[in-house]
Every structure is written in C-alpha cells, then in structure tokens.
Amino acid sequence: MSYDLRFFKRAVHEAVDIDLLGDEEEEGKASYRDQLELLGTAEEVTAILRTIFPEAEFEHFEAYHEGYLMTEDYGVTFFWPESEAVRVLDVAVTGSENAFAVIQTLHERTGWRAADEVEIDFNGDPASGLRYWAGTLDTLRRQVGSNKKWWQFWK
C-alpha cells in the first residue's frame, strides 16, 4: 500500500476541489482538471523530474510515463499521462517518512502545489497527512494481527 498524493498548479478559480483531481476516466473530472494550469507536456514534465532527481529511473509506456526513485528506506513513484497538456502529477510513496523530503524538494524546485486528502501546507506541517495515513494503516494492521509497521509492508 502506498501514500498517494497529486501535484498541480493553481486552479484558474483558485479554490481546489481535491476530489476532482482523480482519474481522467471518471465522469466530471476531466473538465475540472482542464481548469488547472499546465505543468507542461509529458516531455517537459519528464525533463523537470530528471533535472531535480537525476538518480531516478524513468519509463515511457504507450499512454503514460513513470519515474521511480528508490532507496533502501523508501520508494517514490511518479505517474503522468502521455499528453501535450499534463495538469496533474500523481505520486505514490512507500517506505519511511524520510520519503517526504522528495515531496518537499519537488514542491520547492517547481512551486507546484500538492494534495493528499487536503492541500498540503508546506509552510506548516507538510508531512501530517503522511503521518495520519501511516498511523491509520498501523492501526488496521494491529487489528488484523500483522506485526509489520506501515513502512515495512512494502518490502
């Protein structure tokens, strides 16, 4: 299981409805995403990520791109569509809370905003959503009898 979030630029109308940033196939979401500013083309997003994270590996599939940044402590996977108009970058985090440094770096270097269930406050406590998710997952694992912590489950 992973902690999932999305990067985006500000919405034209500025009020961001996080629930509408989901998969393009879901009805009503594509028109909302069209109101977000562009991150760039698929190639531009790839170039940005390669510059910020030169140690990451990248793959291009027919309909989308993936980038992987893996260490012994955590993994971060980026997903974005093959498109001339990339508006949302999906990110999946596994491993320890140290992975949030990648999220913080991406925000600082690009100025892009991010959201999990709510928009992440990079000036306040940006990892609060990750900690909440991890705590909830640890509670569920205790209830089903697993001794692994949330960050050990992905190994």
| pLDDT given at position 18 | 53
* Residue 85, domain member (yes or no): yes
- In the numeric block, which tokens belong to residue 59? 């793959």
**Residue 152 covered by a domain:** no
State both tokens at 96. 């320890």
Q: For the chain, what is the mean pLDDT?
A: 77
Assess whether pLDDT exceeds 80 at residue 143.
Answer: no
- Residue range 3-58, pLDDT digits in tens: 788 888 876 555 555 555 555 555 555 566 677 889 999 999 999 999 999 999 99
Instruction: Give the whole-number percent of the chain exceeding pLDDT 90.
Output: 34
In a domain, 151, yes or no: no
The pLDDT assigned to 45 comes to 96
pLDDT at 139 over 70: no
| Residue 153 is assigned to a structural domain of this protein | no
Q: For residue 45, give the CATH number of its domain.
A: 3.30.310
Which residues form the domain of 48? 3-144
Domain count, the chain: 1
> pTM value?
0.73
Residue 115 lies in a domain: yes
Greater confidence (4 vs 149) lies with 4
- pLDDT tens across 65-119, in order? 999 999 999 999 999 998 888 999 999 988 888 888 999 999 999 999 888 877 7
DSSP string, 6-59: EEEPPBTTS---GGGGS-TTSTTHHHHHTTBPP-B-HHHHHHHHHHH-TT-EEE
